[in-house]
C-alpha cells in the first residue's frame, strides 16, 4: 500500500442531521445525528486509511477546538502533522432530507496568521520525501490567498509528487494554473471555473478540455446521479451509478477521490479504477459520513456499476445532473 499525504486548509466540525421534512420557522425533530471532524482532506484520508494505506494529515488546524480532531486521527490511524494556529475551526450544520437534498449552514473559522503559509510549507518540506501522492482539498480559511494554494501545488510538483486537487472558486482557478496531476470538481465547481453554466455533456467536455489544455493530465468530474466523467491522457470514461437510496451526498466526492487515488496508485486498469471509486461513492450516499469499503452491500454495488468509453454508441449527451 502507499504513503499518502492529505492537506486540509480549513477543517470543520460537521453536525450532520437527518430529517424527514425541514419546515422553516417551526420545531423540527431530527433522526440520525452525528458530530465529527471533517474537511475534504480529512475525509479523503479516512477512506484511504480504511483501504489500507498509510496516511498523514496536515494543513492548518485551529487550537481552540482541536481535541475532537486529535481523537479522530488516533481512532482512524492517521498520522497528525497539522500546523496549529490560534482560533477555532468552523462548525457547520448539514441538514439531510429524504432524496438527498442537503442544506448547509457553514460557520466562520479561524483567520490565517501571517506566518501560517510559511510554517505549512516548512512542514510539507519534511513530509513530501516520504509520500507517494498528495491530496489538497477543501475551502480556504479567511486570509489565505489563492496564490498560496498554488504555491503548495508547485512545492509538491518540485518534489516529484502527484497532486490530486479538490477545490472550488478562486482556489480551483489558482490550483489549475499550478499544474496538479489531477483535479476533481463536481459540475457546480467546474461551472464556476469555466464561468458558464454547464447545461449538457458537451459543455462539460468543453470545460474539461480547457483544463487539460492547461497541463492537467487527469480531470475527474462528479455529476451526482449522472455518474462520473474521467478524462485522462489515454482515454475518457464515464460511469453510471447503481440505484441507491440517497441519505446524504456530503462526503460522496471525497470518497470518490479516495477510491480513484487508491486504484491509480495500485496501477489498476482505468475501467476498474472508475468502477471501484463510483461504487464506493454510491455506498457513501446511503448514510451520513464517508464511504465504507467493508459495507455488506459494497460487492453488489460494484457489480451494478457500469463504465463505458465516452462517447460511445449507447451514450447520450443528456444533462448530467
Catalytic residue ranges: 254
Compute CA 293 distance to the chain's CA centroid, rounded to the nearest angstrom: 16
Strand 236-240 and strand 133-137: the pairing is unpaired
Q: Is 60 helix (H, G, I), strand (E, B) or coil?
A: strand
| Helix residue spans in the chain (DSSP H) | 40-50, 67-76, 116-127, 146-158, 169-177, 187-194, 201-213, 252-265, 270-284, 298-304
Kindly report the backbone phi and psi dihedral angles of residue 90, in degrees, each rounded to the nearest multiple of 5, phi listed first.
-60, 150
Q: How far is CA 163 from CA 80, 113, 148, 217, 219, in A?
A: 19, 25, 15, 11, 12
Angle of CA points 259, 47, 237, to nearest 5°? 10
Q: Of 38, 30, 34, 189, whose CA–CA distance to 98 is shortest?
A: 30
For the stretch 137-165, what's the b/e string if a residue is b when 16 or more beta carbons lie within 10 angstroms of its beta carbon?
bbbbbeebebebbbbbbbbbbeeebbbbb
DSSP string, 184-232: --BHHHHHHHHTS---SHHHHHHHHHHHHHTT-SEEEEE-GGG-EEEE-
Q: How far apart are CA 18 and CA 21, in angstroms?
A: 9
Amino acid at each position: 500500500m502507499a504513503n499518502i499525504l492529505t492537506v486540509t486548509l480549513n477543517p470543520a466540525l460537521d453536525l450532520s442531521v437527518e430529517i424527514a421534512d425541514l419546515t422553516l420557522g417551526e420545531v423540527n425533530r431530527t433522526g440520525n445525528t452525528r458530530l465529527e471532524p471533517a474537511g475534504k482532506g480529512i475525509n479523503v484520508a479516512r477512506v484511504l486509511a480504511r483501504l489500507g494505506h498509510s496516511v498523514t494529515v496536515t494543513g492548518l488546524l485551529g487550537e481552540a477546538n482541536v481535541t475532537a480532531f486529535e481523537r479522530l486521527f488516533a481512532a482512524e490511524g492517521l498520522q497528525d502533522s497539522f500546523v496549529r494556529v490560534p482560533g477555532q475551526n468552523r462548525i457547520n450544520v448539514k441538514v439531510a432530507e429524504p432524496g438527498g437534498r442537503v442544506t448547509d449552514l457553514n460557520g466562520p473559522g479561524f483567520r490565517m496568521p501571517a506566518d501560517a503559509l510559511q510554517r505549512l510549507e516548512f512542514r510539507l518540506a519534511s513530509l513530501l520525501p516520504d509520500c507517494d501522492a498528495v491530496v489538497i482539498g477543501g475551502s480556504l480559511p479567511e486570509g489565505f490567498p489563492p496564490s498560496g494554494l498554488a504555491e503548495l501545488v508547485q512545492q509538491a510538483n518540485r518534489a516529484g509528487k502527484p497532486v490530486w486537487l479538490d477545490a472550488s472558486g478562486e482556489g480551483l482557478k489558482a490550483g489549475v494554473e499550478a499544474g496538479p496531476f489531477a483535479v476533481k470538481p463536481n459540475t457546480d465547481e467546474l461551472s464556476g471555473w469555466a464561468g458558464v453554466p454547464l447545461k449538457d455533456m458537451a459543455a462539460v467536455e468543453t470545460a474539461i478540455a480547457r483544463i487539460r489544455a492547461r497541463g492537467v493530465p487527469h480531470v475527474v468530474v462528479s455529476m451526482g446521479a449522472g455518474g462520473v466523467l474521467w478524462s485522462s491522457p489515454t482515454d475518457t470514461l464515464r460511469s453510471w451509478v447503481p440505484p441507491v437510496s440517497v441519505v446524504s451526498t456530503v462526503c460522496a466526492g471525497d470518497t470518490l477521490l479516495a477510491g480513484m487515488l487508491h486504484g491509480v496508485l495500485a496501477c489498476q486498469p482505468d475501467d476498474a479504477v472508475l468502477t471501484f471509486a463510483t461504487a464506493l461513492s454510491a455506498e457513501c450516499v446511503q448514510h451520513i459520513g464517508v464511504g465504507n469499503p467493508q459495507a455488506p452491500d459494497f460487492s453488489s454495488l460494484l457489480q451494478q456499476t457500469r463504465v463505458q468509453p465516452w462517447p460511445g454508441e449507447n451514450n447520450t449527451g443528456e444533462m448530467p445532473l
